[in-house]
Amino acid sequence: DGLVHYSKISHKGPVNPAKHFKEGDEVNVVAIDFDKKKKHLSLSIKDATPDPWEDIDKSIKSGDTVSVVVSNIEPYGAFVDLGNDLEAFLHVSEISWDKNVKHPKDYLKIGDKLNVEVIEIDKSKRKLRVSRKTLLPKPIEIFASKYRVGDIINGKISSVTDFGAFVKIDDVEGLIHNQEVSWDKSATAKNSLKKGDDVEAKIIKIDTESGRISLSKKALEESPISKFAKSHRVGDVVEGTVKDKKDFGIFILLESGVDALLRLEDLGNIKYDELQRGDTIRAIITYLDPKSGRIRVSARRLQKREEREALKQVNSEQSDILTLGDVIKEYLNK
C-alpha cells in the first residue's frame, strides 16, 4: 500500500479526500518517494495528470464566461469548480450588485451550477478570481428602464448624512441632497428626515454611468416664487429688505423664500455704500420667471414713474387753475 498525502490529490491545492473519493475507487497514481527503513511508499494522484496551470492562458482568458459548480462556501466568498482540476474564488462582493450581501449562503449553496466571468488570472500564485454579478443586469440599468426623470417614486429612507438622505427604491438608492429637501433653506436632511421614514420624491437625474440617482422632495411642493407669481406681475411695485450686497447688485428679500436682484444700474438715487442689511427698499418688478426662480427689480424705474406721476399731477393742477382764471376773467368782462 501507498499513501497519497492530501496535498498530492489535486492541482487545486490541499483538499479533503473524503469529498473526492470513497473506499474502493480506482485512481491513477505516481510513486514519488519510498522510505526503505519505514517501508513507506508515497504516491501522488495529481502528478498522474497534466498540470492545468501550465497552459491555462491558452484555455482561459480574463473576460471569458465559464460554467462552474459551487464546491465550498465561506463567510467571505465561495469556491467554484471549473473542471479540469481547476478552482476559482468568487468573493462575496462579486456575487450580487446588492451592497448588503451578508453571507454567500444567502445566494448560493454547494452544488449550484452557475455562469461566472473570469476577472483575474494569476498564474504565478495559481489563483483564479471570478464574478457572478458582472453577468447580471445592473440595478441602475433595470431602474432606468422602469423609471424616467420627472417620475414620482415612493421609497424608504435608508440613511441620513450631513449632505442629504439616501432613499431605497427597489434594488437601488437615490439621494435627496440637502438643497432638494425643502424650499425652506434652513431645512436639511438631518433636521427634516430620519432613517425608516417613507418618503415621496421626484426623480431629477439618473446617471447610469456612475450609478447615481438624484431625487427631490421639494419639487413636489409649490415653490415660494410660484406662489408669489400668482399675485404679482411685471410692473408691480414691491417692498423688501436688503439681504445681501454683491459687486453686481443687491439681493432683496420680498417674502419668505423669495429674493429679487436689484442691479447697480437700477439703484437710481439709492446710495449703494450707505445700504445696510435689513434696510427697506421699494422698487418695480422688471423680470419675473418662476421656472428659473429669478426676479429683478428696479428702484430707478420706480423713481422715474413717480416723477412722471408727480409732474402729471402738477400739470393737472395748473390746468385747473388756468381754467378757473379764465372763468373769472370772462365774468369781469361782462
What pLDDT is attached to residue 241? 96
Examine the fold and report which residue of 159, 187, 220 is the final residue of a domain before the chain moves on: 220
Alpha carbon distance 325, 334 (integer Å): 15
Confidence of residue 188 (pLDDT cuts 50, 70, 90): very high
**176 and 88 co-located in one domain:** no
**231 and 317 co-located in one domain:** yes
**22 and 65 co-located in one domain:** no
Q: Of all residues in the chain, what percent carry a pLDDT higher than 70?
A: 88
Instruction: For residue 15, tell me if it sits in a domain.
Output: yes
Instruction: For residue 175, tell me if it sits in a domain.
Output: yes
> Which class for 30: exposed (0-12), middle (13-18), buried (19 or more C-beta within 10 A)?
middle
**259 and 298 co-located in one domain:** yes
DSSP state of 187: -
Cell of 323: 381754467
Instruction: For residue 203, tell me if it sits in a domain.
Output: yes
Alpha carbon distance 142, 133 (integer Å): 14
The partner residues of 259 in beta bridges, in order of sequence, read: 253
pLDDT digit string, tens, across residues 143-173: 999 999 999 999 999 999 999 999 999 889 9
What pLDDT is attached to residue 320? 57
**189 and 152 co-located in one domain:** yes
Instruction: For residue 54, tell me if it sits in a domain.
Output: no
Count CB atoms within 10 A of the CB of residue 254.
22
**209 and 231 co-located in one domain:** no
CB 85 within 8 A of CB 46: yes
pLDDT digit string, tens, across residues 302-332: 999 988 887 877 776 666 555 556 655 665 6
Which residues form the domain of 9?
A: 2-48
What pLDDT is attached to residue 264? 95
Among 122, 116, 123, which Cα is nearest to 64's? 116
Note the Cα 102 to chain centre separation in Å. Answer: 23
Alpha carbon distance 173, 153 (integer Å): 12
Note the Cα 156 to chain centre separation in Å. Answer: 15
- What ranges make up the beta strands (E) of 7-151? 30-35, 40-44, 65-74, 77-83, 86-91, 113-122, 127-131
Q: What is the total count of domains within the chain? A: 4
pLDDT digit string, tens, across residues 202-238: 999 999 989 899 999 999 999 999 999 999 999 999 9
Cell of 312: 402729471
- What ranges make up the beta strands (E) of 210-306? 212-216, 237-245, 249-255, 258-263, 280-289, 294-298
Instruction: For residue 309, tell me if it sits in a domain.
Output: yes
**325 and 232 co-located in one domain:** yes
Examine the fold and report which residue of 135, 151, 177 is the final residue of a domain before the chain moves on: 135
**pLDDT of 8 above 90:** no
Instruction: For residue 326, tell me if it sits in a domain.
Output: yes
Alpha carbon distance 86, 11 (integer Å): 7
pLDDT digit string, tens, across residues 93-133: 999 988 778 899 999 999 999 999 999 999 888 899 999 99
pLDDT digit string, tens, across residues 231-275: 999 999 999 999 999 999 999 999 988 999 999 999 999 999 999
**121 and 171 co-located in one domain:** no
Report the CATH number at residue 67: 2.40.50.140
Confidence of residue 333 (pLDDT cuts 50, 70, 90): low
CB 115 within 8 A of CB 152: no
**68 and 105 co-located in one domain:** yes
Model's pTM, two decimal places? 0.63
Examine the fold and report which residue of 194, 220, 246 is the final residue of a domain before the chain moves on: 220
Instruction: For residue 89, tell me if it sits in a domain.
Output: yes
**258 and 232 co-located in one domain:** yes
What pLDDT is attached to residue 281? 95
**175 and 280 co-located in one domain:** no
Instruction: For residue 318, tell me if it sits in a domain.
Output: yes
**210 and 229 co-located in one domain:** no
